[in-house]
Amino acid sequence: MDQDQNAPLREDVRLLGEELGKVLQGQAGKGLFETVETIRQVAVGSRGQGEMPVAKLRELLDPLEDETLLEVARAFSQFLNFANIAEQRHRERLRRQHARFPGDPDTDRGLRQVLVELKNAGVEGEEIRKVLSDLSVELVLTAHPTEVTRRTLIRKYDQIADLLTELDRPDLNEEEVEDLRRLLREQILSAWSTDEIRRERPTPEDEAKWGFATIEQSLWQAVPKGMRDIEDELVLAGLAPLAADWVPIRFASWMGGDRDGNPNVTSAVTRQVLTLARWMAADLYLRDVENLLADLSMHRASEELLASTGPSQEPYRLFLREVRDRLRNTRALMEARVNGAVESEGEIYRTGEELHRELSVIDRSLRAVGLQAIAEGQLKDTLRRLKCFGITLLKLDIRQESTRHANVVDAITRYLGLGSYASWGEKVKQKFLLSELESRRPLVDSAFYQSEFCTDEVREVLDTCGVIAEQGAEGLGAYVISMARTSSDVLAVMLLQKVAGVREPMRVVPLFETLDDLNNAYDTMSALLDIPFYRERVKAGQEVMIGYSDSAKDAGFLGAAWAQFRAQEKLTGIFREYGIPLTLFHGRGGSISRGGSPTRMALMSQPPGSVAGRIRVTEQGEMIRFKYGRPSVAAYNLEQYVAATLEATLLPPAEPRPEWRAEMDRLTQASVRAYREVVQDDPALVSYLRTVTPETELSRLALGSRPARRKPGGGVETLRAIPWVFAWTQMRLMLPAWLGTGAALETGLDNAPETLRSMSEEWPFFQTVVDMLEMVLAKSDTRVALWYEERLTDDPELQRLGIELRSRLARTVNALSRLTGRESLLDNNPVMRWSIRVRDPYTDPLHLLQAELMSRLRTREEDPVLESALMVTIAGIAAGMRNTG
């Protein structure tokens, strides 16, 4: 990227910094502004010389009062958030430029390039159309707690981004520029005057509302915009148009449905969230219909429409008033249910198909009387929204841990006098479950629910299945079984839905997440497919979820990545043999140790044939805001998913060579061994984590509704994958993303360097491993990590481990450099390199402040000011690192 392309980004960063400085002077006084500026200049100067300015920064920070430390932390944290705004705006700017100059190598690959490559590869247009017609991309919004920024601040940041967009206009005069600068200063002042820290832990309903807000404020506009952009690309490529309401993208959610390890998600919560979604959907469609009412004033209409309205000068308005009334009734009913009020009378929409059928009458009428251009406007957008979001806004997944289901079946068999299901072997369990699934008689009577066997935990699982039965299939997605290990785990959930009287059962999706589970996934699914009853039930399609978080925590990044690849290969093969469509559901996060990577890179690194026109992916934590928080960014990312899924389906990567497979087996053996030497075998690791990183302090931050630990106390195995990653990121050691990988690369470079280089140059899977490793290593910093250690411990054992970890990190960087031939990290990615460098002078003071605050707080009972300052540093560093979880 040349200087001219980067100049607008630098100008936006300078502008926001300058305006923040003015706000600081006005609100906190010139003294604080000068303190912040001195600290910033020291950090900038030292970083420019390649140093971590610990001593100089300590001299500046140590004399400051607690209140001043809080304000300093807030200033640097705000700047990092503003840098994120500027960078995101710059990416939008580059994407617009990319539309004008699609050959620019510094911008992302879009649908236009994919269609050109397909044409060059000889893929016929009809084949492309067929794949696109059946394409299915489902994005699952989850509430994993890595989004530390408060919703109220996100709204202010969006307004700042809008003002930067306005300032980009070349036709502004001086007065208009000054007005926009004034509005910008007002928003920065408003952000500065707002508490950054969420003081109360959100409920699952709160988390669901955040997901709904993303739809209302961004995706509601982004989906039709993205579809028009995609449609334009298809026309440009000379492809015949697809169906008018074609939308290959759907949205689902885990917010209010994911009860694995979260006792706050109950059957009552799930029912409430489903009702809230229906309420929000009715309200959004009502807004659309009221806009259509205002616009569709014409009198020419088809016989079909007039048969409903009778003769009229404004038949469309007459027809739409009835639609509006039904939507109002639907909204009022859902509002009453949410609030526990008296339910109103009146005809409502029970399914999306009912609303779609009525709007389609208008669509056909407009086209029949020569008003196609009007049909292609707002009405088409609404029909596409309906196809995407349905009448329920999104589909809610249910997730529960496998042993909870087994415990319910065990309670039932003991109640029936059949013995303990828990003590049976797998074949006996299968036989019982299949017999009951095929039986027409009820398994239990009402007396079971009053018996001693129906404990609170048992009742909760059955009540959840009862909610599934009462709500119907339209608002529900997948029933995901975490820690699925056997075929009986899947059959048990199918039986429990039958026990609850579910008429249209949710599809049951096993989640394979640990290294052993991934390695055994083929055997588990093979055993199920050997059962004729099961094959018949899933003949239309099977979904399997691949876990990234726990497998990486269990085996390290490289070992987990290879296990995920092989599991997908084997699963794709066996379902192909049976002729059953397979959808792989990727449980990814933002960090690379949890599967995070750019969309195309992620999909093209999958095994050939595993995408096959269908993909389901979680979008987690802060990535929801970065990818879908603004309509233009969201529309771009939706196009990326469509383009990447199309490319991975029709131009899949080649099969990895046998020598690459053999080398990956050797690499992962070395990687897993080196990873577990530290994480599982070194007794100092847990103490180091809790002493030197802010892992313990993270529990003070009201990030999400789910507890940070599966159970109190315990070691690494009890810690959830997200705080595990988050804690190491805060002190820049980034351990989960690289530990073990350096040892593997050293082994490969010493024994088979040419094979390793051919893998990194020609195999998309390994290219992704190398590229993402390089990015995370560029964000790591041993000097920052050392400061935490020096400030927070004098234990010789912890110091010994710290020396070893930093040594391993340095060796990993050296091994990567030997492989790529690049002296400096990210030499091939100047935008990312600049992004990291511009943040370092602002994260450095926050790191030093955080370690100092942790030290002070650990010697005091309570100190609200220091606690607030610590929480600000956590949020600020998360903003600086971006892909934290």
**What pLDDT does 657 receive?**
96
The answer to whether 419 touches 329, Cβ cutoff 8 Å, is: no
> At residue 40, what are phi and psi to the nearest 5 degrees?
-65, -45
Domain with CATH 1.20.1440.90 in the chain: 266-389
Distance CA 406, CA 423 (A): 11
**What pLDDT does 51 receive?**
66
> Which range in 48-57, 143-152, 169-178, 855-864 is most confidently predicted, on average pLDDT?
169-178
Flag the least confident range among 87-96, 203-212, 533-542, 615-624: 87-96
Say if residue 533's pLDDT is above 70: yes
pLDDT class of 705 with cuts at 50, 70, 90: low
**What pLDDT does 54 receive?**
75
Say if residue 386's pLDDT is above 90: yes
pLDDT class of 103 with cuts at 50, 70, 90: very low
pLDDT class of 717 with cuts at 50, 70, 90: low
Say if residue 583's pLDDT is above 70: yes
Q: What integer is the mean pLDDT of 477-506? A: 96
Distance CA 434, CA 36 (A): 68
How many C-alpha atoms does 562 have within 13 Å on its Cβ side? 21
Q: What integer is the mean pLDDT of 780-786? A: 90
**What pLDDT does 145 receive?**
46
Q: What integer is the mean pLDDT of 710-726? A: 65
Domain 266-389 has CATH 1.10.10.10: no
Minimal CA–CA distance to 804: which of 692, 884, 729?
Answer: 692
Say if residue 458's pLDDT is above 90: yes
Distance CA 338, CA 61 (A): 50
Flag the least confident range among 18-22, 44-48, 393-397: 44-48
Tokens of residue 360, six digits = 């389609």
* 265-299 tens-digit pLDDT: 999 999 999 999 999 999 999 999 999 999 999 99
Flag the least confident range among 105-109, 582-586, 770-774: 105-109
Say if residue 149's pLDDT is above 80: no
**What pLDDT does 144 receive?**
54
Stretch (H or E) spanning 615: strand 614-620
Which of the 8 DSSP states describes residue 390? -
Question: 865 or 291: whose pLDDT is higher?
Answer: 291
Buried/exposed code over 436-453 (b: 16+ C-beta within 10 A; e: otherwise): bbeeeeebbeeebeeeeb
> At residue 543, what are phi and psi to the nearest 5 degrees?
-115, 135
Say if residue 595's pLDDT is above 80: no
Q: What is the CA radius of gyration of the chain?
A: 28
pLDDT class of 185 with cuts at 50, 70, 90: very high
Question: 151 or 80: whose pLDDT is higher?
Answer: 80
pLDDT class of 100 with cuts at 50, 70, 90: very low
> At residue 480, what are phi and psi to the nearest 5 degrees?
-95, 130
Distance CA 469, CA 504 (A): 8
**What pLDDT does 108 receive?**
55
Question: 710 or 285: whose pLDDT is higher?
Answer: 285
Query: Which positions are annotated as active-site residues?
Result: 144, 553
**Beta pairing partners, 511:** 545
Say if residue 417's pLDDT is above 50: yes
Say if residue 263's pLDDT is above 70: yes
Distance CA 386, CA 394 (A): 10
* 656-700 tens-digit pLDDT: 999 999 999 999 999 999 999 999 999 999 999 999 999 888 876
Cβ contacts of residue 65 below 8 Å, gap of 6+? none
Cβ contacts of residue 735 below 8 Å, gap of 6+? 728, 805
DSSP states of 486-499 as a string? SHHHHHHHHHHHHH
Specify the pTM.
Answer: 0.90
Q: What integer is the mean pLDDT of 597-614? A: 87
Tell me the percentage of the chain whose pLDDT exceeds 90.
62
Q: What integer is the mean pLDDT of 790-811? A: 96
Q: What integer is the mean pLDDT of 132-160? A: 80
Say if residue 559's pLDDT is above 60: yes
Minimal CA–CA distance to 128: which of 140, 119, 138, 137?
Answer: 119
Flag the least confident range among 38-42, 398-402, 501-505: 38-42
Flag the least confident range among 372-376, 487-491, 625-629, 717-721: 717-721
pLDDT class of 841 with cuts at 50, 70, 90: confident
Distance CA 413, CA 421 (A): 6
Q: What integer is the mean pLDDT of 400-417? A: 97
Cβ contacts of residue 169 below 8 Å, gap of 6+? none
Question: 857 or 374: whose pLDDT is higher?
Answer: 374
Coil vs helix vs strand at 266: coil
Q: What integer is the mean pLDDT of 259-267? A: 90
**What pLDDT does 84 receive?**
85
Average pLDDT score, the chain? 89
